[in-house]
């Protein structure tokens, strides 16, 4: 799967349904030589950053240290500095001998993310970070405080090869896969920023507020399941007990995908109970072929079967993501069809997260009218499907879903 570039079949001619066709004004859609949307599974740039402690398991860290002429037990010390204190500064590592400390730290913690820009919302509860990677590629992550939890939206690829026309990241194409440590370092950097009180906004009502990232969503740039091995490595670093990893709860980590069916099956078989989200956006193949080009490869029913299998295998209720796009996918009959397809597979296995479309440059698509999204949600609920409207946190700093384009 990772070595092919496929071009989906041309969309079927539009029928009589009322539907707004996309008009991309500024943005250039990426098309193959035959004019159809291009899917990129293989990263054009193959170079990866130098190996970092967070790329390795504890045993691998010990081996690497021995190769470098250090005792294996340094692995635990260095891991504690990084995963518990979020530091890579040799000056504070007083438990390491002074002689050779700098070299050791440089070898195990090559700098991966350079902060280019930090945008904070007016009320201070959301920060978007722009990072430059070792080869100049740019990625973003978004940190959000909610009562009692802190969520980080991480990127898994520089750019994205899935080419969804309503998503800003999709319009830029894929630059390369991110390494495990590049993914992990976004969380460690966010924890460091939190320790420096970057988010502020601590509750004054006496309630407890999280002082580190408690939830991670793979909803930043990239298609996580197209970078499977490195994302799996990052999941292990997130959930492994401290000091081997961050000691987070798997259920607080959400992996979101356009629907790469073989990779969904593989993820289910890993028996790591992360939360699984499928970006569906349409219950019918005719429209989904257009909104999610990979649908020409794996159809709505195949993606839903894989999501249902994820629930059966892990016991974790799955999320269906649905960006409500005015006159495009927000019709009442589509809500009914979605409910029917979900209920056909079982009850209690799924919930739906509609989100009003966030604007992206160059696209005339807009969010559904309030009354239309309310009707859409009510129809799902009436059919017994738990449905919650997602918030569009970070919109004013272009940090909301689908707006991450990593421009300077």
Q: Which residues bind ligand SAH (CB under 6 A)?
A: 162, 166-167, 218-219, 223, 256-258, 279, 321, 323, 355, 357-358, 360, 401-402
Smallest distance from the beta carbon of 217 to ligand SAH, in angstroms? 8
Helix (H, G, I), strand (E, B) or coil at 320: strand
Reading the block at residue 383, the tokens are: 């059919």
Closest CA to 165 of 68, 31, 268: 31
Smallest distance from the beta carbon of 225 to ligand SAH, in angstroms? 8
Reading the block at residue 253, the tokens are: 């980590």
Number of CB atoms found within 10 A of residue 196's CB = 9
Reading the block at residue 164, the tokens are: 């969804």
Smallest distance from the beta carbon of 355 to ligand SAH, in angstroms? 5
Reading the block at residue 252, the tokens are: 């607080």
Helix (H) or strand (E) holding 168: helix 168-171
Reading the block at residue 221, the tokens are: 């740039």
Reading the block at residue 283, the tokens are: 């219950």
Smallest distance from the beta carbon of 169 to ligand SAH, in angstroms? 7
The catalytic residue among 102, 115, 140, 164 is: 140
Nearer to ligand SAH (CB atom), residue 85 or residue 341: 341
Is-contact 113 133, C-beta < 8 A?
yes
> Annotated catalytic, 401?
yes
The catalytic residue among 321, 375, 401, 408 is: 401
Nearer to ligand SAH (CB atom), residue 148 or residue 262: 262
State which residue has the least CB distance to ligand SAH. 402
**DSSP-assigned beta bridge partners for residue 255:** 218, 276
Nearer to ligand SAH (CB atom), residue 151 or residue 256: 256
| Half-sphere exposure at residue 59, Cβ-oriented, CA atoms within 13 angstroms | 0
Smallest distance from the beta carbon of 376 to ligand SAH, in angstroms? 14
Nearer to ligand SAH (CB atom), residue 101 or residue 351: 351
Reading the block at residue 75, the tokens are: 């692995």
Closest CA to 126 of 194, 207, 184: 194
> Annotated catalytic, 396?
no
Nearer to ligand SAH (CB atom), residue 48 or residue 363: 363
Nearer to ligand SAH (CB atom), residue 108 or residue 263: 263
Mention every residue, 6+ apart, whose C-beta is less than 8 A from residue 93.
77, 78, 81, 87, 101, 105
Smallest distance from the beta carbon of 116 to ligand SAH, in angstroms? 21
The residues assigned a catalytic role are: 140, 401
């Amino acid at each position: 799967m990772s070595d092919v570039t496929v071009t989906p079949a041309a969309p079927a001619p539009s029928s009589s349904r009322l539907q707004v066709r996309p008009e991309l004004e500024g943005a250039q859609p990426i098309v193959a030589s035959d004019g159809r949307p291009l899917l990129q599974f293989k990263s054009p740039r193959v170079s990866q950053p130098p190996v970092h402690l967070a790329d390795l398991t504890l045993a691998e860290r010990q081996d690497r240290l021995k190769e470098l002429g250090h005792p294996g037990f340094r692995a635990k010390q260095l891991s504690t500095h990084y995963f518990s204190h979020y530091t890579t500064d040799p000056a504070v590592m007083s438990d390491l001998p002074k002689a050779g400390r700098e070299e050791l730290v440089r070898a195990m913690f090559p700098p991966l993310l350079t902060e280019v820009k930090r945008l904070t919302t007016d009320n201070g509860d959301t920060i978007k970070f722009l990072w430059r990677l070792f080869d100049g590629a740019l990625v973003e992550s978004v940190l959000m405080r909610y009562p009692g939890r802190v969520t980080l939206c991480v990127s898994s690829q520089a750019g994205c090869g899935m080419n969804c026309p309503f998503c800003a990241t999709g319009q830029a194409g894929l630059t390369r896969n991110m390494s495990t440590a590049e993914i992990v370092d976004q969380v460690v950097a966010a924890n460091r920023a939190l320790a420096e009180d970057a988010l502020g906004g601590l509750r004054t009502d006496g309630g407890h507020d999280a002082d580190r990232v408690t939830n991670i969503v793979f909803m930043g740039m990239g298609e996580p399941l197209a970078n499977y091995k490195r994302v799996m490595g990052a999941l292990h670093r997130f959930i492994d007990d401290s000091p081997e990893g961050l000691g987070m709860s798997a259920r607080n980590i959400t992996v979101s995908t356009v629907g790469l069916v073989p990779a969904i099956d593989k993820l289910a078989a890993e028996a790591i109970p992360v939360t699984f989200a499928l970006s569906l956006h349409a219950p019918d193949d005719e429209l989904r072929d257009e909104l999610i080009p990979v649908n020409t490869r794996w159809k709505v029913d195949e993606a839903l079967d894989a999501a249902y299998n994820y629930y059966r295998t892990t016991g974790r209720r799955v999320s269906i993501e649905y960006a409500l796009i005015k006159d495009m996918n927000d019709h009442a009959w589509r809500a009914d069809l979605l409910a029917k397809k979900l209920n056909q597979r079982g009850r209690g296995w799924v919930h739906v997260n509609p989100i009003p479309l966030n604007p992206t440059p160059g696209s005339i698509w807009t969010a559904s009218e309030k009354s239309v999204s309310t009707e859409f949600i009510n129809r799902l609920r009436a059919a017994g499907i738990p449905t919650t409207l997602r918030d569009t946190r970070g919109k004013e700093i272009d940090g909301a879903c689908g707006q991450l384009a990593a421009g300077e």
